[in-house]
């Protein structure tokens, strides 16, 4: 499979990874053949890209730290929680904690040390997909930092509920394309306070989870909000959530800006480590998050275009790639696999845009990588 921008999708392509609505229900399941109507719906909802099957990449397997079924349950519970809050109700902690334990179990038993998230989020999904991503990223970082299960549970709960306060904001404010006025900015900056209040509304609330939600926009130099806390005034778990929140927010399109690439988002965090963000947290993220995930199309220092097919543990910036086009952009008759851990004179310089055609029934021999198979050969 390969990730393709929605703008490049064509009727006849086949979905390779489920596309979820904001409530966790399936919009397009694996194996669905795209029609013009499906593609138009994806455009209307503001999806940036999806995974499709392709004859050159049948051996690529996308593996998130969180199973699709678990993500669906988390997003459904968050969606139900937000609906209750909008009607004046509260957070159902029993449901949230139950699904959080499932998330924790999956993350703690996953042996992979290099990870990435499958980010297929609609333009209108400003809370649900994002909140799950922030929770998963926070927990993965916490695991790498050897936090206890109790600490991870509190971190995951705070990260999962960190943006609940946004339900009090006018929806048109969240999707506004123009610069916010000073009054609008001040209103947006209240959402961490509202998140804390919503968490604390339940008599059985977790205090540290509410602190994480309150502090996720605070910055080490005091430039954050809502209270301008600095340094050690910001809880360490809040600093983890802050970095995960910024990373995920940067890597999706917003009405007022285009998305950063995963590598650019990590560079932004690293460039502001020790000033805005905790250095230990940022360093952990850089060591363990893949700047070029599996399925990403990239350009090499040779000028060639390739697709990431496998990550190398310990050095995520140097994955195994499949070279598919020459420096002039012409398709190679015989694509070849290149392990950048071994080919030290070649590196990735950034992402690349490619026009993809509907896969045809063909076979390919990959130099250094076995034989490709028929695109309709089954699961």
pLDDT tens for each residue of 47-65: 888 999 988 888 887 777 8
17: pLDDT strictly greater than 60: yes
122: pLDDT strictly greater than 70: no
Measured CA to CA, the distance from residue 154 to residue 107 in angstroms comes to 15
The overall average pLDDT reported for the chain is 88
Environment class of residue 22 by beta-carbon count within 10 Å: exposed (0-12), middle (13-18) or buried (19+)? buried
Pairing of strands 370-371, 2-5: unpaired
The pLDDT assigned to 131 comes to 93
299: pLDDT strictly greater than 70: yes
The pLDDT assigned to 353 comes to 84
The pLDDT assigned to 214 comes to 98
What predicted TM-score, i.e. pTM, was given to this entire model?
A: 0.88
The pLDDT assigned to 125 comes to 63
Q: pLDDT band at 371, cuts 50/70/90?
A: very low
Residue 38 near residue 6, CB atoms below 8 Å: no
Average pLDDT over residues 119-131: 74
C-alpha distances (whole Å) from 193 to each of 205, 240, 252, 322 are 15, 18, 24, 47
Report CA torsion sign: 355, 346, 348, 116.
Answer: positive
292: pLDDT strictly greater than 50: yes
378: pLDDT strictly greater than 80: no
């Amino acid at each position: 499979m390969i990730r393709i921008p929605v703008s490049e999708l064509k009727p006849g392509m086949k979905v390779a990874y489920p596309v979820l609505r904001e409530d966790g229900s399936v919009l397009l399941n694996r194996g669905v053949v795209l029609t013009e109507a499906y593609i138009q719906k994806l455009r209307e909802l503001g999806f940036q890209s999806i995974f499709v099957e392709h004859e050159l990449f049948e051996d690529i397997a996308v593996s998130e730290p969180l199973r699709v079924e678990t993500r669906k349950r988390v997003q459904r519970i968050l969606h139900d929680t937000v609906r209750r809050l909008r009607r004046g109700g509260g957070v159902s902690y029993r449901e949230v904690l139950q699904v959080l334990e499932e998330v924790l179990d999956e993350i703690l038993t996953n042996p992979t040390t290099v990870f990435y998230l499958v980010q297929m989020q609609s333009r209108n999904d400003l809370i649900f997909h994002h909140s799950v991503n922030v929770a998963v990223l926070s927990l993965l970082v916490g695991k790498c930092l050897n936090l206890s299960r109790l600490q991870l549970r509190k971190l995951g709960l705070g990260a999962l509920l960190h943006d609940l306060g946004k339900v009090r904001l006018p929806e048109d404010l969240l999707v506004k394309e123009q610069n916010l006025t000073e009054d609008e900015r001040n209103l947006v900056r209240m959402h961490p306070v509202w998140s804390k209040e919503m968490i604390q509304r339940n008599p059985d609330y977790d205090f540290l989870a509410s602190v994480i939600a309150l502090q996720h926009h605070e910055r080490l130099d005091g430039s954050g909000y809502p209270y301008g806390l600095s340094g050690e005034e910001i809880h360490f778990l809040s600093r983890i959530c802050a970095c995960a929140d910024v990373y995920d927010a940067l890597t999706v399109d917003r009405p007022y800006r285009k998305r950063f690439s995963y590598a650019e988002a990590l560079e932004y965090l690293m460039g502001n480590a020790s000033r805005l963000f905790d250095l230990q947290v940022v360093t952990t993220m850089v060591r363990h998050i893949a700047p070029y995930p599996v399925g990403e199309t990239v350009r090499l220092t040779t000028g060639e275009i390739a697709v990431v097919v496998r990550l190398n543990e310990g050095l995520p910036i140097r994955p195994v790639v499949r070279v598919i086009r020459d420096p002039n952009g012409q398709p190679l008759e015989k694509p070849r696999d290149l392990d950048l851990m071994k080919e030290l004179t070649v590196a990735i310089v950034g992402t690349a845009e490619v026009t993809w055609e509907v896969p045809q029934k063909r076979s390919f021999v990959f130099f250094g990588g076995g034989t490709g198979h028929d695109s309709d050969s089954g699961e």
